Each structure stands twice: as C-alpha cells, then as structure tokens.
Amino acid sequence: MRTPQSHTALENPPTRSALEDLRMPVQAKLAAAWTSFMFLCIYVDYFHLYKPGAIDQIRGGVVWEFDISQVFVIIGLSLVAVPILMVFLSMTLPARANRLMNLIVAPIYVVVSAFNALGESWTYFYGLSIGLEVLLLAFILRSAWTWPRRTASPATMATSLDNEPHRTPQQA
C-alpha cells in the first residue's frame, strides 16, 4: 500500500541532487563562529612566531612593547578565555542572556582585534587576519541581533482564541 502524497509533492518531485537543509539553531551558529574565531586567534599568534625577530624578542622577555611578566600572561589568558567561554556559553545560556552576552562581547573583541594591528609592519598578514576576525564577529553580532522571536504554537493560539469574545462575521 502506497502512502498518499501531497498535491505539491506530486508537482515538485524531489531531484537526486536535492540536499536536506535543516534550520540550524542560533546557539549552534554562535558557538561555531566563536570556535572559528578562536582558531583564527591561535593561528595568527602561532604564525606571528615566523616573523623575523619575534622569537628573539620573546627570549629577551618582551612581546610587542610589553615586558613578559605574570601580569602580562594573566591579561593574555583573560583575553583568550572570554571567547573560549563564549563557545560554551553560546550553547548553554538561555536565549535572552545568550543574545545579550553576544551583543556585548563581540563588539569588545572587534576593538581587541583592531588593537592587534597597531604598530605592525606586516600589514597584509594582519590585515587579512583582522579582517577575517571582524567578519566572524560581525556574523556573531548579526546572528544575536536577528535572533528569531518565539512564535505562538497552535496550542497557544487555540487558548488565546478561547479567551477572546465571540464575534459574528459582521463584527470582524
């Protein structure tokens, strides 16, 4: 016995190349974007070591213009800990808090990313890396800003219709 198909299914038979496209939850998009952001940060820092003189500066106890100290390392750890935690928080926080956190943290990291370009001579490398970081952060901001609102379910609609006074066709 065959299962009856809808009218539209008969008109538009599936093609062999049609792929299933499921709607991805906003939380998963945000976590993926923060993860990508972190990979980018890690690799930019790693590739920075290939810059002539970078390792010699580190051996000399200096990074950029800052002396390497416990305070410097704690600040560095804090700067990477926030996006790392955003991967986790984007998947676990309730929607309202999640949206708010992403709308606050992402613009801060646009500034942090831009700060990395100050005084650098490798403009193409840092321009590309910061550009990619800012694109990811813009995606995070857009995803959080346009977070879908809850739509009323059929059960909610039925309940709300029961509470409305009965109208005749002339009143509607």
Residue 15: per-residue pLDDT: 67
Q: What is the pLDDT of residues 117-172, one digit of tens each?
A: 887 888 899 999 999 999 999 999 999 999 998 876 666 555 554 454 554 556 55
Average pLDDT, the chain: 85
pLDDT score, position 139: 98
What pLDDT is recorded for position 10? 56
- What pLDDT, on the 0 to 100 scale, is given for residue 63? 86
- H or E, element range at 66: strand 66-67
Cα-only R_g, the chain:
25
Decide which of 69 and 172 is more confident.
69
**Cα–Cα distance between 106 and 112 in angstroms, integer?**
10
Question: What pLDDT does residue 116 have?
Answer: 82
Average of per-residue pLDDT across 101-106? 97
Q: What is the DSSP letter of 117?
A: T
What pLDDT digit, counting tens, does each position of 27-67 carry? Answer: 999 999 999 999 999 999 999 999 999 999 999 999 888 89
Q: Average pLDDT for residues 97-101, to the nearest whole number?
A: 97
Which residue stretches of 49-170 are H helix? 54-59, 70-92, 95-115, 123-145, 154-163
- What are the structure tokens assigned to 168, written together? 């005749």
What CA–CA distance (Å, rounded) separates 83 from 87? 7
Report whether pLDDT(12) > 80.
no
pTM for this one? Answer: 0.75
8 A C-beta contact, residue 98 and residue 90: yes
Lookup: tokens for 64: 């950029």
Q: Is 74 exposed, middle or buried (0-12, 13-18, 19+ CB in 10 A)?
A: exposed
